[in-house]
Structure 1
């Protein structure tokens, strides 16, 4: 369902073996539990039970509002935006309260009523200032703690023994926990994503199967391209410090944002030798950004690699371009009677050939069919690739100390 094509040289076998062994050791150490999520049944079973036990209540809803930021929202948003075209997706309107911008808060909550809305607050601790502030807002705005009936409209997903779990227990709210060794940006295949996506009607077994298949194949040494790609990036890290994900469908807009957080927050660190390392992620949408960023890639500083992400054109045979000849615009007639999907795919091929011709590091990922299974494959692929890069950079891929510095300074500003 997903085809990977590397256009650069394979790496030395011994070096690949060393990287693979280090990833195996990391997985076995349980430093991060995300490796296990595609194979775990607990989250899927809990989500399925919740949906089945609350069918009558869920059928009364028109809105699902996620309160969370970063890893608590980006992955979920990415998956829903890629799959919302599927006929079995429920008609619930999915909204995200993740930003402290007052204009955005007012816009998102306009028209929302408690009786037809389920609010899900997602946070490992609950103490993230954006999430806690937005939670306080909806508690007051919609009187969600008034009684047992109003509390049914609020659900919590958090770490076990977190402050947020203790609060949920005190208020007798429905809550679910995620593994404590799974960081936010690696958590979408936990209850963080599984429960909301189940409520929306998506097939979670297929999503996890897609992630499990590529993960298992990687550890069976059947997806060596991931190792080769990581080693190529590491070998060129000083000259090529930016990685562009050029996605040829608007459906990938939020997936790009998920990738940017995963790549940037995981890899931008001070390593074991005290060196500042990292690769800057850039998310682009084709063909739109051919008219903005492509010029910089082709003739600007050669400090970027490009990964093309595309849909097979047979995915969307319609609409097509009418066979209309417009006076003075005859030069555009060569695309008449072609589908827009074919035009978009050929624009991607032409752009990729142009970039390759300039000697720029390029590879391609093609999604044959955009469904739960293929999306699960994409999620696991980028997570494993990120972990490989973290091993090569000799960093802790799963923390974010630089972010914590800013949180400490924010507290000082309010205490001044």
Structure 2
């Protein structure tokens, strides 16, 4: 369902770096296997667990009458608490199973955005989901306080039914929920926000939206199982290539050829940037800079820089198999003065986009720029699960080579401390 092609050896200078030794592959694999065994991060276990599915189904069964009237699902969270959900809904929104529920995100403290997001919204047909590991993140807690006050959500059992918390067990938010008798679902403490989409953080709202979350987890589980059976060695090779060439190629571009991946790109940027920008065990600053682009739009804003700017970038292309998308087509319409554009007449837009991706990739490869390509046969829950776990495992592998903790974010915490001091 997902095909992975690597072209790192198109440049003759890099050919030896594109084919690491078995010893190098084994070393990286051992690092990741040790992380998984020692539960350094709980995300490794998520595809195989049923807790999130059971919690979601239990909630739906107990609250069916309320959910029948829900038209708005309001997610209050920031970063990993919202980006993963946005990414998957963006990829799968076209599926017929997707319910007619507006997905609204409150993640920004911009007053204009807050008012715009909540304009015309009523409690009776809305469910407010507060997602935070601690509940003390200033953006999330401030937005939560605002909606509680604005909609009087703590005034009665009926109003509190429109409120649900997802948090760490024994967190301040957990105790708040227990105090006020608000529904609360928990996640394991060793699951960081940017690695949490396969937990209740993602599974609960995605289930409410009508997606087959069992298949979503199954897709991730199948790929992870194959990886630990050493059947997806391309991932280890890519991690080694990117990590060992970090000084030469410090910028990694995800060039996604479908607007459905716009929010996925944002999720990738956080995952890659926040996980890998760290101090290593020797106190040296390391990291790789992620950039998300959408084809063919960004061909007209960024391709020039890639092809003739500094040779400091690698490019990962994501594209869809367009065989089934035969409509709409470009009309066979010939217009005076526009004769130079007639060569695409009668072609489907899907084919045009596919050929644009191929032309862009070949142009970049001809400049000696390292590329790889992920082709997706069909955008569905299974392929989305595989794509998520692929990038999470890749991030862990690169972090392992860097000798860093890929799962904390001390730099972000410094900013939080400084904000408190300013107040």
What is the TM-score when the length of structure 2 is the normalising length? 0.97
- Residue matched to 2:393: 384
Q: Aligned-pair distance for 1:250?
A: 0.5
5+ residue gaps, structure 2: 9-17
- Residue matched to 1:201: 210
The CA deviation string for residues 251-305 of structure 1, in whole angstroms up to 9 with x for no partner, is: 0000000000000000000100111100000000000000001100000001100
Q: Aligned-pair distance for 1:122?
A: 0.1
Contact preservation (8 Å) 1:315, 1:369:
no
Pairing of 1:389-400 with structure 2 (within 5 A): 389-400=398-409
Contact preservation (8 Å) 1:39, 1:212:
yes
Q: Aligned-pair distance for 1:314?
A: 2.0
- Residue matched to 2:12: none
Pairing of 1:158-307 with structure 2 (within 5 A): 158-307=167-316
Q: Aligned-pair distance for 1:53?
A: 2.5
Q: What CA distance in whole angstroms lies between the structure 1 residues aligned with 2:396 and 2:26?
A: 15
Q: Aligned-pair distance for 1:316?
A: 2.2
- Residue matched to 1:3: 3
1:113 aligns with 2:122: yes
- Residue matched to 1:122: 131
Q: What CA distance in whole angstroms lies between the structure 2 residues aligned with 1:311 and 1:95?
A: 27
- Residue matched to 2:323: 314
Q: What CA distance in whole angstroms lies between the structure 1 residues aligned with 2:383 and 2:199?
A: 17
Task: Give every structure 1 segment of 4 or more consecutive aligned residues whose post-TM-superposition deviation is greater than 4 Å.
Answer: none
The CA deviation string for residues 195-252 of structure 1, in whole angstroms up to 9 with x for no partner, is: 0000001001110011001100000000000000000011211010000000001000
Task: Provide the aligned length of Structure 1 versus Structure 2.
Answer: 414
Which of 147, 165, 169 is the aligned partner of 1:156? 165
Q: Aligned-pair distance for 1:110?
A: 0.3
Q: What CA distance in whole angstroms lies between the structure 2 residues aligned with 1:133 and 1:82?
A: 30
Q: What CA distance in whole angstroms lies between the structure 2 residues aligned with 1:166 and 1:56?
A: 27
Q: What CA distance in whole angstroms lies between the structure 2 residues aligned with 1:297 and 1:43?
A: 42
Q: Aligned-pair distance for 1:189?
A: 0.4
Q: What CA distance in whole angstroms lies between the structure 1 residues aligned with 2:25 and 2:314?
A: 20
Moved more, 5-14 or 180-189: 5-14
The CA deviation string for residues 168-195 of structure 1, in whole angstroms up to 9 with x for no partner, is: 0000000100011000000010000000
1:57 aligns with 2:61: no
Matched residue of 1:297: which SS? Answer: helix
- Residue matched to 2:15: none
Q: What CA distance in whole angstroms lies between the structure 2 residues aligned with 1:261 and 1:315?
A: 32
Q: What CA distance in whole angstroms lies between the structure 2 residues aligned with 1:278 and 1:377?
A: 25
**Aligned-residue CA RMSD in angstroms?**
0.7
- Residue matched to 1:35: 44
Q: Aligned-pair distance for 1:318?
A: 1.3
5+ residue gaps, structure 1: none
Q: What CA distance in whole angstroms lies between the structure 2 residues aligned with 1:76 and 1:381?
A: 17
Which of 349, 357, 363 is the aligned partner of 2:366? 357
Q: What CA distance in whole angstroms lies between the structure 2 residues aligned with 1:129 and 1:326?
A: 57
Q: What CA distance in whole angstroms lies between the structure 2 residues aligned with 1:56 and 1:343?
A: 47
Q: Aligned-pair distance for 1:128?
A: 0.3
Q: Aligned-pair distance for 1:387?
A: 0.0
Matched residue of 2:99: which SS? Answer: coil
1:141 aligns with 2:150: yes
What is the TM-score when the length of structure 1 is the normalising length? 0.99
Q: Aligned-pair distance for 1:315?
A: 4.3
Matched residue of 1:314: which SS? Answer: coil
Q: What CA distance in whole angstroms lies between the structure 1 residues aligned with 2:29 and 2:261?
A: 29
Contact preservation (8 Å) 1:315, 1:368:
no
The CA deviation string for residues 384-414 of structure 1, in whole angstroms up to 9 with x for no partner, is: 0000000000000000000001000101111
Q: What CA distance in whole angstroms lies between the structure 1 residues aligned with 2:379 and 2:29?
A: 29
Which of 395, 401, 407 is the aligned partner of 2:416? 407
1:100 aligns with 2:109: yes
Q: What CA distance in whole angstroms lies between the structure 1 residues aligned with 2:326 and 2:167?
A: 42
